[in-house]
């Protein structure tokens, strides 16, 4: 049972958005050519020899999930990492072919500019991939260097041109702001270059650089971002992208209408998804669980007939409602008015209209402060919107 149907939140989703239940699959590819200095993801640069066994293990996990009845017809698939493009098309296509997909499935593959080739894109397109997410991060060479990234900005422009030539009309460009040495004009230039690529990306994700424990960046205080600078960069980004025809639909995501990432929207709508591979997280009917983080342990568990699961958590009652609200708060659809009190501290942080409370730009910068004030619906309220645990209609009203 789902708390609410995430398909209700999606704009322009066809004639009857409630006809299809969403079900996502996330596949984790834990391999990269080089580790970026800020990265704390589950990925390795010295385990390329494991790729074939790893993909075999993923296929076994998919088969088991089908046998156990926990893998429904996928409406979205997201292959992330790591750098999926780094391992080439053939292993990725094996995984895609093994997944039972709905006719209108959205399949996203993350790529890095340096490992994107016409051959890779052609194979992915033939395998049914509908969306590419390209990790560009910056169009300033010195900022890329300060982030510990390989490649240069011309790689990104070349990769986008290949994406267009391969026939992809749906793709994302990832950017990061707040890198050491990045000036306000560097960031403006990155946004300008990103929004004038050929073809123009219909989706842009922009993330504040965050310092993760254990990374080279965390040990180098001289490269830590300044909070005030990050806030300025974010506000500039939102204004710039809005002027360029993109709408924000989640704190770090902007899209041209109809190009929102369905997979991520379903996750923010607390929908069901199954994670495949090491470190992959799943959510099924209020249960959250995650696979073991290290590829060798994941492969060994699968090869010996054991479960790769490492953590499980069941959310029930108000905990599940609050989680749903926390996720919804991130989005442009916001939360029902009852979910946030009329607290003077929230003045200027949320905008209330159409029965909903949506974060303002300032509110997005202080989202955690706002989220602390989320509350469950009043008991005994007869309106469908406030009956819990069924929050049908939570996302019914899209607010632009
Ligand atoms: S390419 Fe992405 S996943 Fe790989 S190290 Fe860099 S940030 Fe991490």
Tokens of 310: 């490492």
The predicted pLDDT at position 342 comes to 92
Q: How far apart are CA 121 and CA 155, in angstroms?
A: 15
The predicted pLDDT at position 378 comes to 76
Residue of 29, 30, 34, 35 to mutate, ligand 1, most atoms within 8 A of C-beta: 35
Cis peptide before 199 (omega within 30 of 0): yes
Is residue 15 predicted with pLDDT exceeding 70? Answer: no
The predicted pLDDT at position 235 comes to 98
The predicted pLDDT at position 20 comes to 53
Q: What are 291's strand-pairing partners? A: 309
pLDDT in tens, 16-53: 333 358 999 999 999 999 999 999 999 999 999 999 99
Domains of the chain: 16-268 (3.20.20.70), 317-386 (no CATH)
pLDDT in tens, 86-124: 999 999 999 999 999 999 999 999 999 999 999 999 999
Query: What is the Rg, in whole angstroms, of the alpha carbon atoms belonging to the chain?
Result: 21
Determine the atom of ligand 1 nearest the C-alpha atom of 137: 7
Report how far apart, in Å, the C-alpha atoms of 363 and of each of 41, 309, 324, 332 are: 27, 36, 18, 12
Tokens of 106: 């959205």
Residues with CB under 6 A from ligand 1: 32, 35-36, 39, 41, 43, 81-83, 112, 135
Q: φ and ψ at 93, to 5 degrees? A: -65, -35
Nearest protein CA to atom 2 of ligand 1, as residue: 82
The predicted pLDDT at position 395 comes to 41
Give mean pLDDT, residues 354-362: 96
Q: How far apart are CA 140 and CA 138, in angstroms?
A: 5
Q: How far apart are CA 128 and CA 219, in angstroms?
A: 42
Write the DSSP string, 34-67: S--TT--SS-BSS-GGGHHHHHHHHHHHHHHHHH
Q: How far apart are CA 390 and CA 94, in angstroms?
A: 38
The predicted pLDDT at position 3 comes to 38
Looking at the whole model, is its pTM more than 0.85?
yes
Q: Which residue has the tokens 């990104």?
A: 156
Cα 157 to ligand 1 centroid, rounded to whole Å: 19
Q: How far apart are CA 271 and CA 94, in angstroms?
A: 26
The predicted pLDDT at position 14 comes to 33
Nearest protein CA to atom 8 of ligand 1, as residue: 39
């Amino acid at each position: 049972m789902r708390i609410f149907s995430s398909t209700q939140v999606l704009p322009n989703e066809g004639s009857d958005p409630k006809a299809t239940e969403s079900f996502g699959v996330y596949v984790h590819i834990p391999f990269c050519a080089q580790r970026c200095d800020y990265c704390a993801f589950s990925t390795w640069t010295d385990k390329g020899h494991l790729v074939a066994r790893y993909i075999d293990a993923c296929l076994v996990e998919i088969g088991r999930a089908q046998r156990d009845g926990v893998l429904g017809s996928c409406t979205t698939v997201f292959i992330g990492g790591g750098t999926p493009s780094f391992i080439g098309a053939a292993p990725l296509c094996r995984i895609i072919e093994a997944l039972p997909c709905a006719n209108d499935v959205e399949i996203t593959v993350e790529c890095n500019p340096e490992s994107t080739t016409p051959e890779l894109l052609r194979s992915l397109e033939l395998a049914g991939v509908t969306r590419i997410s390209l990790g560009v991060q910056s169009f300033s060479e010195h900022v890329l260097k300060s982030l510990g990234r390989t490649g240069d900005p011309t790689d990104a422009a070349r990769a986008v041109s290949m994406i267009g030539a391969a026939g992809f009309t749906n793709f994302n460009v990832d950017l990061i702001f707040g890198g050491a040495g990045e000036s306000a004009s560097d960031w403006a230039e990155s946004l300008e270059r990103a929004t004038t690529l050929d073809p123009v990306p219909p989706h842009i994700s922009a993330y504040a650089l965050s310092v993760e424990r254990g990374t080279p960046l965390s040990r180098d205080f001289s490269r830590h971002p300044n909070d005030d600078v990050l806030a300025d960069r974010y506000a500039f980004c939102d204004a710039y992208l809005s002027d360029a025809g993109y709408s924000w639909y989640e704190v770090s995501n902007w899209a041209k209408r109809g190009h929102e990432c369905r997979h991520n929207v379903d996750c923010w709508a607390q929908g069901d998804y199954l994670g495949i591979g090491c470190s992959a997280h799943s959510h099924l009917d209020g249960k959250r669980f995650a696979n073991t983080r290290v590829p060798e342990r994941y492969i060994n568990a699968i090869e010996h007939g054991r479960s790769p699961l490492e953590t499980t958590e069941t959310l029930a009652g108000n905990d599940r409602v609050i989680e749903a609200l926390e996720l919804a708060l991130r989005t442009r659809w916001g939360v029902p008015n009852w979910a946030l009190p009329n607290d003077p501290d929230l003045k200027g942080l949320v905008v209330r209209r159409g029965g909903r409370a949506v974060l303002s730009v300032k509110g997005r910068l202080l989202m955690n402060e706002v989220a602390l004030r989320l509350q469950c619906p009043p008991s005994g309220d007869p309106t469908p919107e406030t009956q819990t645990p069924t929050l049908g209609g939570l996302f019914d009203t899209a607010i632009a």
